[in-house]
Amino acid sequence: MLDKIAEKFGHEFSYDEALIGHAAIEATGEALPEESLQKMKNSDAVLFGAVGHPKYDNDPSAKVRPEQGLLKMRKELGLYANLRPIKLFDELLDASSIKPEILKGADILFFRELTGDIYFGEKGRKNNGDTAFDNAEYSKYEVERIARKAFDAAMTRNKKVCSVDKANVLETSRLWREVVQQVAKEYPEVQVEHQFVDAVAMLLIKDPKRFDVVVTANLFGDILTDEASQIAGSMGMLASASIGDGTGVYEPIHGSAHDITGKGLANPMASVLSAALLLDISFGLKEESNAIISAVDAVLKAGFRTGDIADASTPKDKILGTDAIGEEILNRL
């Protein structure tokens, strides 16, 4: 896809490849080898595959796990803001399990904090291993910087921010709310609401159109964006951008789906759309980015689907595998 863009718009991209996750563990024993990290740091942007392997999911005692590579990468590259745009291509209105009239027009931009919270706090066992704990921590500056990113984005959209927390129970959430309220004062034009995470889980399905920009903590954001992927029809459609102060990382929100490995069933659109986000955010190549999005749109308009976004009305010959639908996108580009 990027080669095609280079050819069409007269750019030259240079690529490097680096191992992470299961493949890196097999090759080096580490989930994120130093060599990979250096390659990432030396690049302008990272296009990321996915990590995870069932071997580790079923072995809670595994010391080295693929996901550690992902988390270490986020921490080391300072990727504190994870942007997950949720927007339904009109052609997929019927692919979602949510009623079309509820979905039509929904357009949400999630800002998930990515380097703090229960993901990165102290964790361990006590009482001879019979008790486990994961510590959730946030400091003011961590909340402030993600809140600013969300408000800045809201200024370029519908000027609405929904901050999601659990301030009725959690101290980290009370700090979160305090800081977001402070930051909000710098953006008098933006309409702000504070909602509890349980209520948002319900509202996303009930009335997704009420949201514009949503900003939330790491764990809540992880859960809510999987839920919100159904607003976009499928996990296979959602791209994300992780940004901080240096190299940005672009990746589908889905995992590695080993149950369909090698079957050619995976929907490549989330990856393709991640490349579009990369061109836009890291390189400022808006036209090039839009060309990719339009090509995906055109393929959907032509009626082509992968299995995850097909429905009962999709003709059998329009259901394509991973490579074939990739070709269709390329052709339109």
**Active-site residue list:** 119, 166, 198, 222, 226
Binding mask 166-205 for ligand IPM (x = CB under 6 A): ----------------------------------------
Cβ distance to ligand IPM smaller for residue 219 or 300: 219
Q: Which does 52 bind (CB under 5 to 8 A by kind): ligand IPM, Mg ion, none?
A: ligand IPM
Percentages helix, strand, coil for the chain (3-state, rounded to 5) are 45, 15, 35
Number of residues that bind ligand IPM (CB under 6 A): 7
Residue 67 interacts with, from ligand IPM, Mg ion, none (CB under 5-8 Å by kind): ligand IPM
x/- letters, 203..232, toward Mg ion (CB under 5 A):
-------------------x----------
The residue assigned the tokens 């990746």 is: 251
Two tokens at 155?
A: 């200024």
The single residue among 239, 249, 253, 329 that binds ligand IPM, judged by CB under 6 A, is: 253
What minimum distance in Å lies between the beta carbon of 14 and ligand IPM? 27
* Residue showing tokens 């990165």: 120
Q: Round to whole Å and give the CA distance between 190 and 101.
A: 27
Does residue 94 belong to the site contacting Mg ion (CB under 5 A)?
Answer: no
Task: Give the contacts of 56 (CB within 8 A, at least 6 positions apart).
Answer: 22, 62, 65, 66, 67
Residue 222 is a binding residue for ligand IPM (CB under 6 A): yes
Toward ligand IPM, which CB reaches closer, 51 or 295? 51
CA 90 to CA 140: how far, in whole Å?
A: 40
Which of 277, 312, 254, 275 lies closest to 2 in space, CA to CA?
Answer: 275
Query: Which parts of the chain fold into alpha helices (H)?
Result: 2-9, 22-28, 34-41, 54-57, 66-76, 100-103, 140-155, 171-184, 197-206, 218-228, 269-281, 286-301, 322-332
Residues 318, 266: Cα–Cα separation, whole Å: 15
**Count of CB atoms within 10 A of residue 262's CB?**
7
Q: Minimal distance in Å, beta carbon 281 to Mg ion?
A: 20
The torsion region of residue 117 among left (phi > 0), alpha (psi -120 to 50) and beta comes to left
DSSP string, 283-323: T--HHHHHHHHHHHHHHHHTT-B-GGG--TTS-GGGB--HH
Least separation in angstroms between residue 46's CB and ligand IPM is: 14
Q: How far is the CB of 312 from ligand IPM (least distance, A)?
A: 30
Q: Which is nearer to ligand IPM, 213 or 241 (CB)?
A: 241
Out of 21, 33, 52, 116, point to the residue binding ligand IPM (CB under 6 A).
Answer: 52
* Cβ nearer to ligand IPM, comparing 180 with 224: 224
39 by DSSP, 3-state: which? helix
Q: How many chain residues are in contact with Mg ion, going by CB under 5 A?
A: 1
Bridge partner list, 243? 81
Q: Which of residues 60-99 bind ligand IPM (CB under 6 A)?
A: 67, 70
Q: Which residue is nearest to ligand IPM (CB)?
A: 67
Pairing of strands 239-243, 248-252: antiparallel
Instruction: Tell me which of 255, 264, 303, 321 binds ligand IPM, using CB under 6 A.
Output: 255
Closest residue to Mg ion: CB criterion: 222
Kindly state the tokens that stand for 301. Answer: 């308009």
Q: At its nearest, how many Å lie between ligand IPM and the CB of residue 314? A: 28
Closest approach, Cβ 34 to ligand IPM, in A, equals 21
- Min separation Cβ 23 and ligand IPM, Å: 15
Q: Which residue, 121 or 255, is less far from ligand IPM as judged by CB? A: 255
**What residues line the site for ligand IPM (CB under 6 A)?**
51-52, 67, 70, 222, 253, 255
**What residues line the site for Mg ion (CB under 5 A)?**
222
